[in-house]
Amino acid sequence: MDSPLSHVLFFALFLFFLSSSPAPADAIASPLVRSVCKQTSDSFHQNYTECIKTLGSDARIQSSTSNIKDFTINVLEIAAETATDTQELFNSYLRMTESSTKAIQQCAQSYGSVASAFRGTLEGVKEDQDMVKYTVAQIADGIAVCKKALSSDGVELPHTISSRVNLVSLYKDIGFTLTSQLASIGLKGQKH
């Protein structure tokens, strides 16, 4: 039999389970993170949810979402670290494989350049320079050189490296979105 008490218990349990389920990443992301990910998704066809997860996964980024300049600095620091890690992955892959291909060597060099370009962009943002878009273009060039080398040699990367390459590409697009926003408001770190 259906009693009013069983309905109340069912509703209470339903609310409990609903409130204890994890919130979607988008719901806990700051307005700045959502805005940047939306623009990055629209401009570069990056996955919005992946952007939200990536930016939400680091405490440095989450602690700086009230000021676009600080936010950009933290994103670029993490991007430079990620590019350096990617370069190290390529170098490790070279040591592990019996036949070192020119493509893998080229990618290791390219990601060293990409990491340097992220650091150059970071310094440009810190020093309020207008040249930051130029260094972001260098990042794109470094990534493109690696992709071209891999494709011309027919090299298929292991998942660990390809996922890291995709992450660097996402950071490149996020970095471009952020530096474009900074350029449009002036690099003085105005509140967003």
132 near 153, Cβ under 8 Å?
no
Q: State residue 97's pLDDT score.
A: 81
> What is the residue whose two structure tokens read 């719901």?
27
Segment-wise mean pLDDT, segments of 10 residues, the chain, 192 residues: 49 41 57 95 96 92 87 96 97 82 94 96 87 81 96 92 97 94 68 42
Q: How many Å apart are CA 159 and CA 169, to the nearest integer?
A: 15
The pTM assigned to this predicted structure is 0.82
Torsion of Cα atoms, 55 then 46 then 113 then 117, to 10°: -60
112 near 85, Cβ under 8 Å?
no
Domains, the chain: 30-185 (1.20.140.40)
Whole-number Cα distances in Å, 169 to 4, 94, 115: 56, 21, 12
pLDDT tens-place string over residues 8-48: 444 444 434 444 334 444 557 899 999 999 999 999 999 99
128 alpha-carbon distance from chain centroid: 22
DSSP string, 104-171: HHHHHHHHHHHHHHHHHHHHHHHTT-TTHHHHHHHHHHHHHHHHHHHHHHT----HHHHHHHHHHHHH
Q: State residue 100's pLDDT score.
A: 65
Q: State residue 19's pLDDT score.
A: 40
Count of all residues that appear for the chain in the document: 192
Q: State residue 189's pLDDT score.
A: 43
Give me 105's structure tokens.
């060597």
> 188: helix, coil or strand?
coil
Q: How many Å apart are CA 27 and CA 15, to the nearest integer?
A: 18
Give me 112's structure tokens.
């060293």
CA quadruple 104, 109, 115, 117: dihedral sign: negative
150 near 54, Cβ under 8 Å?
no
